[in-house]
Chains A and B, each alone.
Chain A
């Protein structure tokens, strides 16, 4: 079959489709979004009725996928790294229940925080959940790992975690496809209590998982994704994980002078590591993200062979790897011939001209800054986080999905007035609803603005789970309907908007204001496709 030009994300999607996928479950998040989008657009998805709708959040996605695995079918769960925190309850327990149908979880990490709040390394999740992990170095490897990974998951009876990083997720290269496999039929575990994690049963299942760790290590030792390449210079041995391997080889086009152990599957392959450590004076670990492998090799006391990497300053402890930082780590230098002229200014992203969030922030800041100088605004994750920048300078916090409402509540509990929350519609249904229930149960004195653009805009305009039902959800959770106010954020409505904001700040209790106007990007796209 000829090669197709695919993003790393698309290679994963195509491999899952080719491997007989029955359903993808995901919430959008950069850099993982394109996996689900590719599956949604693929003709086979409609033909074979493969589940592909977006989920409310990563936890519902993970649970639904485990349910699909429970009936013997192959399921894929995709999320950005911070989504792992949301899905973690089910994810960690799925290692204890084990799986029936193949289950692969994709965690797309974002070292250097191109579009994220932290650079947590998802390999730690796989490690303490005690399950095998993949970390591809290129698009073809990502394809092969997923294509064969479902069978591997079924053979082991465990979910598999694949750790991606932004640079691979969003880089295109030629990928060769394999033959299309059929979907699994329905089947169930022979053990009717496998998925019942009552303590008595969970203890048994946990012992089973622990007893299988040696088997997982052996699988890593035999894995085609972990390769040992000898080199003549034994002063250094290099462990290169995922795309760290690419940056190393970029600096050695004729082959590396040092022995190199390339890692693509975890737990770490013991046999090859012993071989490297026994034959080399020092070890250098190249890994994108946090010093996960480096810490394991070094140990707490740092006794034994000298291990270099991010912890000893050979590489920076933060930020993604690149060909230049890896060159320096092996004593080379890629010299710049020109420098950036001092006149070049930063160009941060900004809310689009004509965006409804702009109208919301303009009116909100006018009322708050002039009439309520003691105010604080707790915001959330989405395009409207850009309200932090000029000319708005409108928000005081942005922490995690849904935290606007609950942080406003906590601050109001502590005596702040007015405590205002600004959250988008998709983030509200992702993780804001439960916080609103807390507010209602205590009649917290908060003013919550759900800036509704009827889409998940920041990630490119995916369906939002509560479109058309935001006010009904708020009323259902117990917000007094007279304090649920809907307004169209347009310049001609500024006076009305400001009056509503005033009235609801003056109301001592839970109020929700919903400025609602479709995202101009999705609107433009709809017009273009007509």
Chain B
């Protein structure tokens, strides 16, 4: 088992919270893991990414080679496109469809969607809308994570356990809402794949 994942978004969107859940779940599975993060200057509203590698064999590099990434998880549609040179020919892009516009020259949304639609394997969903339906805009990241379940290579129950552990100190209601968000994302992805 080997999964190379790139998480992308805009500084402040919270891509690292997704990585934390996957990382914990991977450790529960007894897998090796390396996760390179970006700290510092770019966290101020710039583009951010994290390379997350999971394997049942020891992992050499903290960075993913070009053309070897199995899954890009993006909280922002244009940011997902930025890492396409890393995506393998049968890799998946799972992305939020809502643009985060904090630059004056952000491309037209139609053009961004047209580029995403050119890809052979993609899941596009409005995580913010689904999150609000589930209960709170704050679980948008977990909705997106849910949509990656079919490609993650990690047992769904292990991801659920990981969420329970991470959100335990915030109370049962928060845990339940996050689990609902995860399930909602998973369901959307499964429907889209049919």
A binds B: yes
Q: Measuring CB to CB, which residues of chain A are less than 8 angstroms from any residue of chain B?
A: 3, 5, 7, 30-31, 33-34, 114-115, 167-168, 170-174, 243, 246-251, 253, 322-324, 327, 334-341, 343-352, 383, 386, 390, 458-460
Whether A336 contacts B66 by the Cβ 8 Å rule is: yes
- B65, B105, B107: which has the most chain A beta carbons within 10 Å? B65
Q: How far is the CA of A341 from the CA of B36 in the complex (A)?
A: 24
Contacting pair B27 A5 (CB below 8 A): yes
CB-defined contacts of A458 to chain B, threshold 8 Å: 40-41, 44
Query: Could you mark each residue 57-80 of chain B with 1 if its beta carbon is under 8 Å from any beta carbon of chain A, else 0?
Result: 001111111111000000000110
Q: Pick from A173, A340, A383: contact of B34, CB below 8 A.
A: A173
Q: Quick check: A350 and B46 within 8 Å, CB to CB?
A: yes
Partner of A348, one of B38, B39, B46: B46
With A335-B66, A338-B84 known as contacts, the answer to whether A173 contacts B39 (CB < 8 A) is no
CB distance from A282 to the nearest CB of B (A): 23
Asked if A31 and B27 sit within 8 Å, CB to CB, the answer is no
A345 touches B63 (CB 8 A): no
Partner among B42, B66, B87, B111 whose Cβ is within 8 Å of the Cβ of A334: B66
**On chain B, which size bracket covers the interface?**
35 or more
Contact, CB under 8 Å: A34 / B39: yes
Q: Is the CB of A171 within 8 A of B39?
A: no
Q: Is the CB of A172 within 8 A of B23?
A: yes
Question: Which of B47, B65, B85, B115 contacts A347 (CB under 8 A)?
Answer: B47
Q: Are A343 and B45 in contact (CB under 8 A)?
A: no
- In Å, the complex CA distance between A352 and B39 comes to 16
B36 smallest CB distance to A (angstroms) = 4
Instruction: Name the residue among A251, A339, A349 with the largest chain B CB count within 10 angstroms.
Output: A349
Task: Assess the A324–B66 pair: CB atoms within 8 A.
Answer: yes
The CA-CA distance from A250 to B23 in the complex, in Å, is: 21
A-B contact pairs, 30 of them (CB 8 A): A30-B39, A31-B39, A170-B37, A172-B36, A173-B33, A243-B61, A243-B62, A246-B60, A246-B62, A248-B60, A249-B61, A322-B61, A322-B63, A323-B64, A334-B67, A336-B67, A338-B87, A343-B78, A343-B115, A344-B82, A344-B107, A346-B103, A347-B46, A347-B47, A347-B103, A352-B45, A386-B44, A458-B40, A458-B41, A460-B39
| In the A-B complex, the 9 residue pairs with the closest CB atoms | A115-B40, A30-B40, A349-B46, A250-B61, A336-B85, A349-B44, A323-B65, A338-B84, A249-B60
Contacts A324-B66, A335-B66, A337-B88; is A350 near B44 (CB within 8 Å)?
yes
Distance of A36 from chain B, by nearest CB (Å): 14
Contacts A173-B34, A344-B78 given; does A115 touch B85 at CB 8 Å:
no
CB distance from B100 to the nearest CB of A (A): 9
Q: State in angstroms the CA–CA spacing of A461 and B88 once bound together.
A: 38
A3: chain B residues at CB < 8 Å are 27
In the complex, the answer to whether A172 meets B44 with C-beta atoms within 8 Å is no
Report A-chain residues with C-beta under 8 Å of the C-beta of B27: 3, 5, 174
Evaluate contact between B44 and A170: CB separation under 8 angstroms.
Answer: no
Chief secondary structure at chain A's binding surface: loop
A349 and B42: CB pair below 8 A? Answer: yes
Chain A residues, CB < 8 A from B38: 114, 170
Q: Which residues from chain A contact B103 at a C-beta distance below 8 Å?
A: 345-348
A484 to B173, CA, bound (A): 52
Neighbour of B44 across the interface among A114, A243, A383, CB < 8 A: A383
By a beta-carbon cutoff of 8 Å, the part of chain B in contact with chain A is: 10-11, 23-24, 27, 32-47, 59-68, 78-79, 81-82, 84-89, 102-107, 111-112, 115, 119
Known A171-B36, A172-B23, A334-B66; contact A341-B84, beta-carbon cutoff 8 A: yes
What would 7 more interface pairs be, CB under 8 Å, given A243-B62, A250-B61, A350-B45?
A7-B37, A246-B60, A323-B65, A337-B67, A338-B87, A343-B107, A390-B104
Q: Which of A172, A327, A345 contacts B37 (CB 8 A)?
A: A172
CB distance from A158 to the nearest CB of B (A): 30
Q: Of B23, B34, B65, B115, which one neighbours A324 at CB under 8 angstroms?
A: B65
The complex places the Cα of A497 from the Cα of B68 at a distance, in Å, of 54
Q: Which residues of B contact A386 (CB under 8 A)?
A: 44
| B61:A247 contact, CB within 8 angstroms | yes
Q: Would you call B60 and A350 a contact (CB within 8 A)?
A: no
A344, B66: Cα distance in complex, Å: 18
Min distance, Cβ B127 to any Cβ of chain A, angstroms:
19
Assembled-state Cα–Cα distance A197/B10 (Å): 52
Contacts of B81 in A (CB 8 A): 340-341, 343-344
Residues of chain A within 8 A (CB-CB) of B82 are 340, 344
Which chain A residue shows the least CB distance to B87?
A338
Q: In the complex, how many angstroms separate the beta carbon of A154 from the nearest chain B beta carbon?
A: 32
B65: A residues at CB distance < 8 A:
250-251, 322-324, 327, 334
B142 to chain A minimum Cβ distance, whole angstroms, is 19
Given known A5-B23, A247-B61, contact A172–B35 (CB-CB < 8 A): yes
Closest residue of A by beta carbon distance from B47: A347
| Chain B residues with CB below 8 A from A243, complex form | 61-62
Which A residues lie within 8 Å of B89 (CB)?
Answer: 337
Contacts A338-B119, A340-B84, A350-B102 given; does A171 touch B111 at CB 8 Å: no
Contacting pair A171 B84 (CB below 8 A): no
A170 to B34, CA, bound (A): 10
CA distance A167 to B43 in the complex (A): 16
- Taking the closest CB of chain A, its distance from the CB of B113, in whole angstroms, is 11
Closest residue of chain A to B93, judged by CB?
A: A338
